[in-house]
Structure 1
Amino acid sequence: MGEAVAALIARSNRLGADKRNTNYAGGNTSAKGTETDPVTGDDVELLWVKGSGGDLGTLKESGLAVLRLDRLRAMAGTYPGLDREDEMVGRFDYCLHGRGGAAPSIDTAMHGLVDAAHVDHLHPDSGIAFATAADGPALTKECFGDRVVWVPWRRPGFQLGLDIAAIKEANPQAIGCILGGHGITAWGATSEECEQHSLEIIRGCEAFIAERGTANPFGATVPERAPLDAEARRARAAALAPVIRGLASTDRRQVGHFNDDPEVLDFLASERLFELAALGTSCPDHFLRTKVRPLVLGTEPGQDLAEVIAHLQEAHAAYRADYAAYYERYAESHSPAMRGADPAIVLVPGVGMFSFGQNKQTARVAGEFYVNAINVMRGAEALSTYAPIDESEKFRIEYWSLEEAKLQRLPKPKPLAGRVAFVTGAAGGIGKATAERLAAEGACVVIADLDQAKAAGAAADIGNADAAVGVACNVTDEAAITAALDAAALAFGGVDLVVNNAGLSLSKPLLDTTAADWDLQHDVMAKGSFLVSREAARIMIAQGLGGDIVYIASKNSVFAGPNNIAYSATKADQAHQVRLLAAELGEHGIRVNGVNPDGVVRGSGIFASGWGAERAAVYGVEESELGKYYAGRTLLKREVLPSSVADAVYALVGPDLGLTTGVHVPVDSGNPQGFLR
């Protein structure tokens, strides 16, 4: 990595790490320099610029596009004008230097055409507050004098790059500009100077708002919409999340995220909530994630839940009609088809904000962007009047052919993308293997286990909180189950897929089996799986998206093995629950199936906890040879592993067996004793 690139990466990471400077994946940075052309041996001027879709905070060299400056600047001579501006993005490919790197973004022209060695384009909340203020040009002049220049709104593209280049040339004293309706751009002769100029603009806007702004730009707090206390707020959010998620998934399945941070709750309780929310967001990065405006409920926090849900359903229908009308107002013959009319942001006064996306990261980031929008509205209203770009301009960007092409380049979703899995006993063994397989296939996973620390560790092994979370759950305790499923609803919006895996076993003859032995095993597996299935079914029915419930039963549910009365009877109970629930829940699109493993020794928590020694004694073999013993009595002579069971679970819940319910799949390497008959 060359010196210029190293400095660019370091600067980008510093700027992107502080969300006051720019939103996630927002903005771009660049550096210009000279390298030797390996073909001609001559020096060539190059531009390194953050490519399309990357994030400054985590930018690496692979996320940069590298272009020849002579070719990029020559494009100005063949620029066909605004009516054909979209053609220019394709021409960037003919300016690339070497192989690899990221695809050039729409903002590449801004960086290449501006006569400065280093350029930053950022989306700070404070800067966008200036950019969306009705008298933004005057405020910019008052705050910065002639050091920062106002640029009227223009859709990102080649012409905007030409505009900024001309403004910089005409204002040699300027360090940067405010882009109307959009963000900021700064430049410098060195990487350090460019970063200093960016921060001077951002911190200058912040200080000006703090000093000049009014104290309560959103108006007084409306007592009837004051936030519920934390416990009541989270309980109401957990009850509403599956309903809202189901509605927000009318066109395509979505994952949810919940936010009740103070700035959100304050906005929801303000007297100007409905007025400002209706204006929508302004920065293109914001409304591309949040849609043109949010759905805002006109309910009060303490209102009866059934009334709130009824209002939500009415408000959702009205939102869809309004969005379809918005599309029809501005769509032209060449516009992409409407992508969906459901809201990405739902605001519930006194409770918080629900945001949605095709995966957890997208849902979370959409919520973060709306918080950015709240901050922008607050700053703009504190100084002046919030005046976002026109709705027609928002449509032009939302349904831009270049944006559509960008969406089409996204990787094909994995089979379980958009689904939320809840796996009990998932800190180890079969449960952990199953959780890992479901996550690998695209599901968001909730690791539920008796041990919170182990659950959190297993979730961390899968990935960050966008992929998996760990929750404590004693499946014999109804309150604990409710709390764990509430946590799933708050983390991901609801639950689509439940795996009843939690279990234990005691191997004893009938005369040695105590009532306590019997009760313990039935409480954990028979009662526990019943309670988990019941509470999860409530969520699935509320969502209206169907679902899957899978029981990890056992070969012993159909085989009368020796010295195993309590365990085998419990597994038989679970096996019949599969049939009963399949019959009852089918009308809701919920499938219920079971897996019957046998002899899962390696990696099994049950076998490691003493069950292995007990069963080895029953069969007269060494415990270390138990896996081999079990494999030897099968038709395939192969040992069953936790991953083998996980594969069967995925087969049942994946895309290929969508019409299968009420069945048990043996995973026993072929054990005639476990044949279903």
Structure 2
Amino acid sequence: MASSPHPAAKALVARSHRLGSDPRNTNYAGGNTSAKGVATDPVTGADTELMWVKGSGGDLGTLAASGLAVLRLDRLRALAARYPGVEREDEMVAAFDYCLHGGGGAAPSIDTAMHGLVDAAHVDHLHPDSGIALACAADGEKLTAECFGDSVVWVPWRRPGFQLGLDIAAVKEANPQAVGCVLGGHGITAWGDTSEECERNSLHIIRTAEVFLAERGRPDPFGPVLDGYEPLPEPRRRERAAALAPHVRALASADRPQVGHFDDSEVVLDFVSRAEHGRLAALGTSCPDHFLRTKVRPLVLDLPATASLDDSVARLKELHTAYRVEYRAYYERHAGPDSPRMRGADPAIVLIPGVGMFSFGKDKQTARVAGEFYVNAINVMRGAEAVSRYAPIDESEKFRIEYWELEEAKLRRMPEPQPLATRVALVTGAGSGIGRAIARRLVAEGACVVVADLNAGNAVAVAEELGGPDRAVAVTVDVTDEAQITAAFQEALLAFCGVDLVVNNAGISISKPLLETTARDWDLQHDIMARGSFLVSREAARVMTAQQLGGDIVYIASKNAVFAGPNNIAYSATKADQAHQVRLLAAELGEHGIRVNGVNPDGVVRGSGIFAGGWGAQRAATYGIEEDELGEFYARRTILKREVLPEHVAAAVFALTGGDLTHTTGLHIPVDAGVAAAFLR
């Protein structure tokens, strides 16, 4: 049986949660905390000093005991005598593995030395905006002294590592009155004899810096609002953002596909409206945690919000070309023979005056967090400019962090991306039945999914089931309404900055003999499925051609598209219409890399929204059987004698879109367990 966590570890996790839950204290996955204590060595039975410290890559706000690295302090401190010097300090990270206790817990981070070498029972290293504002001010050392007196000591910029740990340990020893330090260009570190004292000292540094910046800072540190750069009214702003999103995503994905996030918060809109935003953005971010996620600097559109969409798109393309040239030059200025290869020259952050900020990453969470880090950077710039001048670390130091071999090793350890990673799917009729199964499968394979359904409650429930806004969002849409379809795609673009995969699944079923089928029945059936699929595909094509990443459109048609059966003329004729839309659009959209394929299910009774909505009873009556026998009836008449479920249809959608059928378009896949009369000819 596993032993319960040590009291010091339990207190550390609780402290980490409190500190990490407030964005004023540190950013996502930023900073680390530690606690030292005594435990019994299970081998010798003797008391042993241990340190628990947040491991590499964890997040304070959600830290679990399993996310702590556990090290023996005697061995960790002994490393100081084996330290080969700053030019080889990266070697010390591997040495931490020889200091682990027992299973060791999580992988130790680069900041482990800071925590182990500082002579304090508890240590917090955090990245608060207020602390980094002082750390990145041109006269940060002087301002730190003015703000804290001798209770907080300035430590000049040094890249995170073993030497920084030695520096901070020496500072604490030389300044017994100090409760912490401000690390130039980086963040803060605080300490204490107890967990409570350490947390109190951390919060004292953060809040005191906040008050100092507020009281000493000049108003409008970003300068006056530029004429024409004011935020657009919200409806126009979000409409413009949605119109720009696929074009911006195309630029951010020139090297490799990216998922996007849009932010039009007040802090972003104010920054890009001010006279100094261009100068400050060009200086780039400073804190290592920031530019590791935001790249060295953003791409900034240098046109007012009043510029036309066409002019904005054209200018963004020009700026993107220049950005790529400049980024390659930055890489070549600083890269050495042993530097990791350039990872890509596209921006991670794109700022649009009057509209907001687009941020990009390998998935939605990464994109969102990149945007959050740039908001942190804006706050840092504001604080530094309010009391001094924003002065980030040198470009060469930024490069050393961005292309640090330790970071590269961390990237190499990451698992292979899932088949649908970076792809954004919109599935109509996804609130139940086949559509829900498709949405579930696409998310499971790595896609972000827009759950589109007429039933708002069902759509929301499915989106929550799939993991919430970093994985899935819900939109309410009547596919017969052009305006609602446009709005649904706008919501998709605002959520993920693009759409790559559309599944036309929404539908109803009317089963009646010819003489009982009314014109209204006919029109309703065709409006939802034939007209609706056409409208959705048209909007999808607009987005996909703008983002220049190709795409997939899949129609959930039916065996009835090619099979003549009794009492369903409206439904079957509509399915035949959808089937031919597949052929027509495959021929037309192929030049844009957009593939159009179809799936022909049959007999999907269990879990089907259509069958539950009355179609099952109607078909059972047609065949002269009880409704609860319908699934078995359909299975018996197939070649394979197997019942078809929604998950089987979802599997066919994945087969068409998951990467193996890259050269297939215009295809219909039967998912009917074998109905010879419906074989395609």
Tell me if the contact between 1:264 and 1:353 (Cα under 8 Å) persists in the aligned partners. Answer: yes
Aligned pair 1:280/2:290, yes or no?
no
How far is the alpha carbon of 1:544 from its aligned partner?
Answer: 0.3
Q: Give distance in 1, aligned partners of 2:565 and 2:97.
A: 68
Q: Equivalences for 1:223-302 in 2 at 5 Å?
A: 223-302=227-306
Aligned pair 1:67/2:71, yes or no?
yes
How far is the alpha carbon of 1:622 from its aligned partner?
Answer: 0.4
Q: Give secondary structure in 2 for the equivalent of 1:97.
A: strand
Out of 32, 35, 39, the residue aligned to residue 39 of structure 2 is 35
Q: Give distance in 2, aligned partners of 1:497 and 1:591.
A: 9
Q: Which residue number corresponds to residue 102 of structure 2?
A: 98
Q: Give secondary structure in 2 for the equivalent of 1:454.
A: helix
Amino acid corresponding to residue 239 of structure 1 in structure 2? A
- With 318-327 and 405-414 compared, the bigger mean Cα shift is at 405-414
Q: Give distance in 1, aligned partners of 2:227 and 2:62.
A: 42
Q: Which runs of 4+ in 1 moved over 3 A?
A: none
Q: Give secondary structure in 1 for the equivalent of 2:525.
A: helix
Q: Which residue number corresponds to residue 215 of structure 1?
A: 219
Tell me if the contact between 2:71 and 2:104 (Cα under 8 Å) persists in the aligned partners. Answer: no
Amino acid corresponding to residue 151 of structure 1 in structure 2? V
Aligned pair 1:443/2:447, yes or no?
yes
What are the superposed Cα offsets for residues 2-21 of structure 1, whole Å, 9 maximum, x if unpaired? 21111000000010000000
What are the superposed Cα offsets for residues 173-228 of structure 1, whole Å, 9 maximum, x if unpaired? 10000000000000000000000000000000000011110011001111210110
Q: Equivalences for 1:523-542 in 2 at 5 Å?
A: 523-542=527-546
Q: Give distance in 2, aligned partners of 1:51 and 1:558.
A: 59
Q: Which residue number corresponds to residue 409 of structure 1?
A: 413
Q: Which residue number corresponds to residue 337 of structure 1?
A: 341
Amino acid corresponding to residue 418 of structure 1 in structure 2? T
Tell me if the contact between 2:582 and 2:598 (Cα under 8 Å) persists in the aligned partners. Answer: yes
Aligned pair 1:7/2:7, yes or no?
no
Amino acid corresponding to residue 3 of structure 1 in structure 2? P
Q: Give secondary structure in 2 for the equivalent of 1:98.
A: strand
Aligned pair 1:487/2:456, yes or no?
no
What are the superposed Cα offsets for residues 486-524 of structure 1, whole Å, 9 maximum, x if unpaired? 100010011000000000001000000000000001000
Q: Give distance in 2, aligned partners of 1:464 and 1:162.
A: 43
Q: Give distance in 1, aligned partners of 2:47 and 2:416.
A: 41
How far is the alpha carbon of 1:298 from its aligned partner?
Answer: 0.7
Q: Give secondary structure in 2 for the equivalent of 1:105.
A: coil
How far is the alpha carbon of 1:412 from its aligned partner?
Answer: 1.1
Q: Give distance in 2, aligned partners of 1:667 and 1:472.
A: 28
Q: Which residue number corresponds to residue 634 of structure 2?
A: 630
Q: Give secondary structure in 1 for the equivalent of 2:81.
A: helix
Q: Which residue number corresponds to residue 320 of structure 2?
A: 316
Amino acid corresponding to residue 37 of structure 1 in structure 2? D
Tell me if the contact between 1:62 and 1:100 (Cα under 8 Å) persists in the aligned partners. Answer: no
Q: Give secondary structure in 1 for the equivalent of 2:105.
A: coil
Tell me if the contact between 2:261 and 2:364 (Cα under 8 Å) persists in the aligned partners. Answer: yes
Q: Which residue number corresponds to residue 615 of structure 1?
A: 619
Aligned pair 1:423/2:427, yes or no?
yes
Out of 352, 371, 376, the residue aligned to residue 372 of structure 1 is 376
Tell me if the contact between 1:21 and 1:122 (Cα under 8 Å) persists in the aligned partners. Answer: yes
Amino acid corresponding to residue 435 of structure 1 in structure 2? A
How far is the alpha carbon of 1:100 from its aligned partner?
Answer: 5.4
What are the superposed Cα offsets for residues 345-402 of structure 1, whole Å, 9 maximum, x if unpaired? 0000000000000000000000000000000000000010100000000000100111
Q: Which residue number corresponds to residue 400 of structure 1?
A: 404
Out of 644, 651, 656, the residue aligned to residue 655 of structure 2 is 651
Tell me if the contact between 2:499 and 2:544 (Cα under 8 Å) persists in the aligned partners. Answer: yes
Count matched residues: 677
What are the superposed Cα offsets for residues 410-460 of structure 1, whole Å, 9 maximum, x if unpaired? 111101000000000000100000000000000000000002221111000
Amino acid corresponding to residue 129 of structure 1 in structure 2? A
Q: Which residue number corresponds to residue 204 of structure 1?
A: 208
Q: Equivalences for 1:153-232 in 2 at 5 Å?
A: 153-232=157-236
Amino acid corresponding to residue 639 of structure 1 in structure 2? E
Aligned pair 1:23/2:62, yes or no?
no
Q: Equivalences for 1:426-575 in 2 at 5 Å?
A: 426-575=430-579
How far is the alpha carbon of 1:39 from its aligned partner?
Answer: 1.1
Amino acid corresponding to residue 496 of structure 2 in structure 1? F
Tell me if the contact between 2:642 and 2:673 (Cα under 8 Å) persists in the aligned partners. Answer: yes
How far is the alpha carbon of 1:56 from its aligned partner?
Answer: 0.2
Q: Give distance in 1, aligned partners of 2:44 and 2:574.
A: 77
Q: Give distance in 2, aligned partners of 1:498 and 1:364.
A: 23
Q: Give secondary structure in 2 for the equivalent of 1:225.
A: coil
How far is the alpha carbon of 1:299 from its aligned partner?
Answer: 1.1
Out of 40, 56, 62, the residue aligned to residue 58 of structure 1 is 62
Q: Give distance in 2, aligned partners of 1:572 and 1:464.
A: 36
Q: Give distance in 1, aligned partners of 2:105 and 2:435.
A: 40
How far is the alpha carbon of 1:406 from its aligned partner?
Answer: 0.8
Q: Give distance in 2, aligned partners of 1:93 and 1:2.
A: 21
Identify unmatched segments of 5+ residues in structure 1.
none
Aligned pair 1:45/2:49, yes or no?
yes
Tell me if the contact between 1:526 and 1:573 (Cα under 8 Å) persists in the aligned partners. Answer: yes
What are the superposed Cα offsets for residues 596-643 of structure 1, whole Å, 9 maximum, x if unpaired? 000000000000000000000001110001000000001111100000
Tell me if the contact between 1:148 and 1:177 (Cα under 8 Å) persists in the aligned partners. Answer: yes
How far is the alpha carbon of 1:52 from its aligned partner?
Answer: 0.5
Q: Give secondary structure in 2 for the equivalent of 1:489.
A: helix
Q: Give distance in 1, aligned partners of 2:173 and 2:59.
A: 29
Q: Give distance in 1, aligned partners of 2:332 and 2:467.
A: 41
Aligned pair 1:121/2:147, yes or no?
no
Identify unmatched segments of 5+ residues in structure 2.
none
Q: Give distance in 1, aligned partners of 2:383 and 2:455.
A: 45
Out of 350, 357, 360, the residue aligned to residue 346 of structure 1 is 350
Percent identity of equivalent pairs = 75
Tell me if the contact between 2:456 and 2:475 (Cα under 8 Å) persists in the aligned partners. Answer: yes
Amino acid corresponding to residue 638 of structure 2 in structure 1? T
Q: Give distance in 2, aligned partners of 1:43 and 1:88.
A: 26
Q: Give secondary structure in 2 for the equivalent of 1:250.
A: coil
